[in-house]
Amino acid sequence: MSDERDVLHVPDMSSGKGTATIGVERAREIADNKEDLSDADRKSIIARVLERGIIIDRATVDLPKHLYGEWVADDPVEISRMQLLGFEKDTQYATDRSSNADGSGVSKIGDVIYMIAPIEVKEIIDAVRSEMYQRANPVKDKQKEEKDFQRQADKSGLPVIAESDITTAREQEIRSALGATKQA
């Protein structure tokens, strides 16, 4: 990768205002000389790195609003599965993110490739997954269960013990009740 293309933004330590655009070599130089940074500069850089404000995440791909994309394992079975879902290999949007190009034009990082689909496909997938989840985890009607229990209890003739009563007591009433039990 060229230093001209990879640009990092860090606080401009010379003026203390705004940010300075630096290349990868300058970023490495700053990292190698961390002891020269003031605590405020070091804190600023750490905060920006942690929020990914300095180093752009290689896996982030900006897509038009009508497309959805995912990084998928570069495995023939997984690729076929995604193609059956409506995805296709991306050769346009994530090519500048690719770090392991194999000459096919497909965006590849390590052992994953980038695949895209129309946003409608993603919405259908989400709807089907939601339906599957609802079937596997139905919402129980607690009121219906309580009614069934009450009906069974009434038929059996057993008293229902699920009723409770709340009363409030002041400190003096509690002390007198405790004192009465000690004396008795």
> What sign results for the dihedral spanned by CA atoms 44, 48, 49, 50?
positive
Q: Which two tokens stand for residue 134?
A: 């609802």
Half-sphere exposure of 81 (CA within 13 A, CB side): 9
pLDDT at residue number 5: 42
> What is the number of residues in the chain?
184
pLDDT at residue number 16: 46
pLDDT in tens, the chain (184 residues): 443 444 444 554 444 444 444 455 667 777 788 788 888 888 877 777 676 555 445 677 888 999 999 999 989 999 999 999 999 999 888 877 667 666 677 888 888 889 999 999 999 999 999 999 989 888 766 677 778 877 887 888 776 666 667 778 888 888 888 886 555 5
pLDDT at residue number 87: 96
pLDDT at residue number 131: 93
DSSP assigned state of 137: S
Question: Which spans in the chain are helix H?
Answer: 24-32, 39-50, 76-85, 119-136, 142-156, 171-183
pLDDT at residue number 82: 95
Q: What are phi and psi of 20, to 5 degrees?
A: -115, 140
pLDDT at residue number 58: 63
pLDDT at residue number 128: 95
